[in-house]
Chains A and B, each alone.
Chain A
């Protein structure tokens, strides 16, 4: 098993101004949607910057699979870094 850690920027999660109430809803959705993909072991969504960090087993999932899911939810994805951590 190899675990990969990938960090990417998503551009829909823009703060609309308030205490991120609306963003909470979106970030919550995004977090759940990625977490449910098989092989994903860790997920962090920063609601201020839109930065998403995902750790996944790359035999069960792939970067393409994850970004496809995120794009389907209406975000533009831009990969920042990708590394094998285990």
Chain B
């Protein structure tokens, strides 16, 4: 590809020199005949790709702008070569003039084509970046030795070793080691994520500081990164509906131009003579390029989708850009979307002589080996407080009720329902209060005495509040839809600041709410893409968040947020609004540009060279304007 571009530049450069030389000679008008031949050769050499394209398209039944350019140049060349001998009024100067114009026109079209091609190629930049992040080799442990092999040779289930500073070559699970991993390639979030045993890793992400051993689960074309690249490619090919407007126009554009060119020729021939008629027809053919119209939208769509992908957002086609721009209500699922989705210990209440450490320690001993999310929250809290947790002497989990354990001579009970102890009035009141706030109270009983209460709650994500505020700032209403109870819902709704909330809903009721909200609103529904897939499918634009690694979520959603950053919802909407207004602007601009240029050409105000410059300038400005969407950036997150 690069070689090809280089070749074209070389031709352009040579053409320029030859042209400059020929022009200098031409002014002297001494070697008229020789110059004519040189100019003809230049026009043919510079434009051969255009002619080939034009003629081949015609052969396949398509009238194209290349065909027009070919005809225009052909007319000029014939006029320059044949007319002086056929018509005595034609001097050498006129002949050289025609041929010079033909050569310059061919040169400008070629230059314009190259520049457009280059810019269009650059809009693939985002995709190329992702492709470049695809690993090519991996260090695999085989027969106790480390060997570096090509990525094609890595097998599922093998163990790869990733050193600090290396790219992780596969999707897999960490089986030993600990490190910070920069997942910006996938999620667009550049703050490294801690990875330790049991965590999932993605191919193409960067291991920053520790050595990791990873068990291979997905390779090559099956990795999350590879899927991402494919999705972006597919999305860029999906047209935006507004494209149809431009397409419909361009379908009629060229036939109309052919008629227009013939009429201009006829009208001028009978009133102003052959020479003027020739000039004007050539000029009309040269400005008759619907180029700006036909590429304004596709380039903008590609640039927008590329930009989004660099920010961890996959917009799955041009249609969704148009829907996104109209979104005026964003509904969020609660658990796992606005909240982290796992309970955390948020408070510890103590009774009597016991300290917070005591409460957490005894609770953690009893819960050490339990898999329940609440138990995990307690154990996590203990290690956060640097409390060493000894093993319980024995323990048993009573499903739905709690845990009973012994530690030496001590008897520990966790959980409300299995307490044989009468709860003190103080503890009872406290627990009631905690639960009314939508949190979970876990009483800790030591030798039949309540020594304290661990309060756990699902916590709001770091960026949820900011995400909601940003949406409000661009005029989007917000709502929360949850299956959870009213108290919890109210508490979370207040913390994140949504405009309205709906609680205690079954999945099918969530769908009903979405349908109701759609009455009068364009609704974006944000969820994890798995549990709330029906609600997502029924909204105008379904967002799945945290979608990296979950093919189902990516598949269901119209827009997939690969990371956990909810502020990207606002970014996707803002970017789409900008993109759409640019598409529309470009179409209008290209339309007006075409009309003006055509009028000027038909009335003989433009020369052929000026005409082609105008046409190219119109086209290139539209391409650049669209491609610039790639440079859009989200507002940085406030540091917390």
Give Cα A24–Cα B121 distance, bound, in whole angstroms: 9
Cα A49 to Cα B61 in complex, Å, equals 10
Tell me, rounded to whole Å, the shortest Cβ–Cβ distance linking B211 to chain A: 29
Which A residues from 20 to 60 make CB contacts under 8 A with B?
A: 20-22, 24-26, 28-29, 32-33, 36-38, 48-49
* Interface: B53 (CB within 8 A): yes
B289 / chain A contacts, CB cutoff of 8 Å: 18-19
Query: Which A residues are in CB contact (< 8 Å) with B302?
Result: 25
CA of A48 to CA of B121 in the docked complex: distance in angstroms? 18
B625, CB-defined interface residue at 8 Å:
no
Inter-chain contacts of B291 with A (CB < 8 A): 18-19, 21
B53, A19: Cβ atoms under 8 Å?
yes
Contact B298–A17 (Cβ < 8 Å): no
Q: Which of B56, B247, B298 counts the most A-chain CB atoms under 10 A from its CB?
A: B298
Query: Is B56 in contact with A16, judged by CB distance below 8 angstroms?
Result: no
Q: Which residue of A lies closest to B232 (CB)?
A: A29
Task: Identify which of A25, A38, A49 contacts B295 (C-beta below 8 A).
Answer: A25
Mark interface residues in B200-237 (1 if CB within 8 Å of A CB, else 0).
Answer: 00000000000000000000110000000110011011
Pair B124/A32 contact, Cβ less than 8 Å:
yes
**Is A15 close to B, CB under 8 A?**
yes
B251 contacts A by Cβ under 8 Å: yes
How many pairs of residues, A versus B, come closer than 8 Å at their CB atoms? Answer: 100
Nearest CB on A from B79, distance (A): 24
Are A38 and B220 CB-contacts (below 8 A) given A22-B294, A29-B124, A48-B53? yes
- Nearest-CB distance from B466 to chain A (Å)? 35
Residue of A at shortest CB range from B54? A19
* Complex CA–CA separation, A30 to B64 (angstroms): 22
Residue interface bits B61-83, CB-to-A below 8 A is 1, else 0: 01111100100000000000000
Cβ of B46 to closest chain A Cβ, rounded Å: 14
Given known A-B contacts A15-B62, A48-B57, A21 and B120 have beta carbons under 8 A apart: yes
Binary CB contact string for chain B from 275 to 304 against chain A (1 if under 8 A, 0 otherwise): 000000000000001110111001100100
Residues on B lying within 8 angstroms of A by beta carbon are: 50, 53, 56-57, 60, 62-66, 69, 109, 113, 116-117, 120-121, 123-124, 127, 131, 152, 220-221, 229-230, 233-234, 236-238, 247, 250-251, 253-254, 289-291, 293-295, 298-299, 302, 619, 623
A sample of 20 cross-chain residue pairs with beta-carbon separation below 8 angstroms, ordered by A number, consists of: A15-B62, A15-B64, A16-B250, A16-B290, A17-B290, A18-B250, A18-B289, A18-B293, A19-B53, A19-B69, A21-B116, A25-B236, A25-B298, A26-B298, A28-B120, A29-B124, A29-B236, A36-B131, A48-B57, A72-B230
